[in-house]
């Protein structure tokens, strides 16, 4: 079976790769096990030095690495380069803070001394998506490898060149062979890896269906998993907010990565007092976005990653309209550039008057579509926000401290941002609740997820 790299702008097959045979896959795991026996003994300062070198290479190679992502999944080139450079920040964070985060912590018991250690587990499997083909990998790899584990990566099938480029860069930076390996395997081969007794856990970022499948397999084999799944993030704007600033953030949050981000603001819950102003500004700014060839630096919105994704998004928009929603902007999936008739483009789109049971209200719309809701109070906004089965991120825009604190306390999400768009940062944990998954990446919590949190009590 082959794994194809296909340009979503042109439909060109860039390269085909043969999936690993069972024997080749087993050999990769043998190499990972051998590497773990050595890597876990490498002092943390030496691991940190490698990650600092990785950060340097990421910054140096960001133009060429960014171009690979643009070719494979359509991310505008400026955003692709920025993504690679962001990866350098997580590498540096764990290089600088890894020793502190992994240091044993003291506890008070009846023992003479009591400590909690954070020891590595072994081989961890990472199943990563295509939408942030570098950041998602480094976001999990930096803490997992700094903790002394080794990692095998099953990347999304449409970004094999990105996956190979990551392993090549890590080896060049001095990471020992076998500590990080890209496995060019199909989804059907994942459970065979998870079933191996030397594999002690898996982390997945992806769809609900993918998360459910992995969780079921992990349950069969009693392996720990961290799941970061979909989101339908609310973006609440109250009358006291700086509306112009909120609209600017709304445009960036909803349209980044061509609208294909799990933590993008998707449901805009607008207080009636500011809804007309917000809607007018949002419509004008989305209409002005430049849609087209993602390799051109002036392009702001490129194609969706695959034809199937465009078809699914358009079907969700049409079902919402059929149920009574209103189309304020966009909604036409026709190509934006005659030179790219294949291109999986979808225009910036705004929906309003959203029916309660429509896709725009209840499902994740993974593309450049904003759903607007009008509310009469913060209580109503929070209730509507929490009706979602997802709980990844949420933001509230208000200058009133009481409203801010109510949003922080009552919004059901793994992250709440006040007067700012939801985003990930190496210093704080990232993850969701409800159908958005469980477990955390990044921060102190992230580096501890795949460690043996070992209690040590000693009596003299």
Q: Running DSSP on this structure, what letter comes out for residue 441?
A: B
Examine the residue annotation and report whether 167 is marked as an active-site residue of this protein. no
Contact 383, 412 (CB under 8 A): no
Q: Please, are residues 416 and 391 in contact by the beta-carbon 8 Å criterion? A: no
**Are 426 and 447 spatial neighbours (Cβ–Cβ below 8 Å)?**
no
- Would you call 367 exposed, middle or buried from its count of C-beta atoms within 10 A (0-12, 13-18, 19+)? buried
Catalytic residue among 87, 162, 262, 344: 262
Q: Given CA atoms 186, 189, 190, 193 in this order, what sign does their dihedral have? A: negative
* Two tokens, residue 248: 């600017």
CB–CB of 183/167 below 8 Å?
Answer: no
Burial 71-91 (b: 16+ CB within 10 A, else e): bbbbbbbbbbbebbbbbbbbb
| The two three-digit tokens of residue 200, written as one number | 């002690």
Half-sphere exposure of 313 (CA within 13 A, CB side): 30
Given the DSSP bridges, would you call strands 390-391 and 433-434 parallel, antiparallel or unpaired?
antiparallel
Q: Enumerate the H helices of 74-183 as residue ranges.
A: 77-102, 135-146, 160-172
Strand partners, 371: 267, 351
CB atoms within 10 A of CB 312: 17
Tokens of 457: 């009590």
228 in catalytic set: yes
Alpha helices in 332-453 (DSSP H): 359-362, 378-386, 401-410, 443-448
Length of the chain: 460
Catalytic, out of 83, 167, 228, 364: 228
154 vs 190: CA distance, rounded Å: 8
Measuring CA to CA, which residue among 372, 341, 176 is closest to residue 267?
372
Sign of CA dihedral 370, 371, 376, 380: negative
Task: Specify the DSSP class assigned to residue 348.
Answer: -
Two structure tokens written together for 326: 């209103």
> How far apart are the C-alpha atoms of 113 and 31, rounded to whole Å?
38
Residue whose token pair is 């429509």:
358
Q: What is the DSSP letter of 155?
A: E
Catalytic site positions = 228, 262
């Amino acid at each position: 079976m082959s794994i194809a790299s296909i340009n979503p702008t042109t439909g060109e097959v860039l390269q085909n790769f043969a999936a690993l045979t069972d024997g080749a896959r087993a050999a990769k795991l043998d190499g990972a096990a051998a590497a773990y026996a050595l890597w876990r003994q490498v002092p943390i300062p030496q691991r940190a030095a490698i990650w600092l070198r990785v950060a340097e290479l990421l910054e140096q190679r960001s133009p060429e690495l960014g171009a690979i992502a643009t070719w494979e999944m359509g991310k505008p080139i400026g955003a692709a380069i920025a993504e690679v450079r962001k990866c350098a920040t997580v590498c540096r964070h764990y290089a600088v803070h890894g020793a502190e985060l992994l240091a044993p912590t003291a506890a008070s018991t009846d023992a003479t001394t009591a400590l909690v250690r954070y020891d590595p587990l072994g081989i961890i499997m990472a199943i990563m998506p295509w939408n942030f083909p570098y950041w998602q990998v480094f976001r999990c790899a930096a803490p997992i490898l700094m903790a002394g584990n080794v990692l095998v990566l099953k990347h999304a099938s449409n970004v094999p060149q990105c996956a190979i480029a990551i392993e090549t860069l890590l080896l060049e930076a001095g990471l020992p062979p076998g500590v990080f390996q890209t496995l060019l395997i199909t989804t059907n081969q994942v459970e065979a890896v998870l079933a191996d007794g030397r594999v002690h856990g898996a982390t997945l970022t992806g769809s609900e269906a993918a998360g459910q499948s992995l969780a079921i397999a992990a349950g069969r084999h009693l392996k720990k998993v961290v799941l970061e799944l979909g989101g339908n993030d609310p973006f609440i704007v109250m009358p006291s907010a700086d509306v112009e600033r909120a609209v600017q953030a709304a445009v960036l949050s909803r349209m980044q990565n061509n609208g294909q981000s799990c933590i993008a603001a998707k449901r805009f819950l607008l207080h009636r007092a500011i809804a007309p102003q917000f809607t007018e500004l949002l419509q004008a700014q989305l209409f002005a976005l430049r849609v087209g060839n993602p390799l051109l630096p002036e392009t702001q919105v490129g194609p969706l990653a695959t034809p199937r994704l465009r078809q699914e998004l358009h079907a969700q928009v049409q079902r919402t309209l059929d149920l009574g929603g209103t189309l304020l902007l966009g909604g036409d999936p026709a190509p934006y550039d005659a030179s790219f008739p294949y291109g999986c483009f979808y225009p910036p789109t705004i929906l309003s008057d959203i029916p309660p049971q429509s896709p725009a209200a209840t499902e994740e719309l993974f593309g450049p579509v904003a759903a607007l809701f009008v509310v009469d109070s913060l209580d109503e906004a929070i209730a509507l926000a929490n009706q979602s089965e997802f709980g990844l991120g949420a933001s509230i825009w208000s200058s009133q401290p009481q409203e801010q604190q109510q949003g922080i306390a009552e919004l059901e999400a793994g992250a709440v941002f006040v007067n700012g768009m939801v985003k990930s940062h190496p210093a704080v944990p990232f993850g969701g609740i409800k159908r958005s998954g469980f477990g955390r990446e990044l921060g102190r919590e992230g580096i501890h997820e795949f460690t043996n949190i070992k209690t040590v009590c000693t009596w003299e």
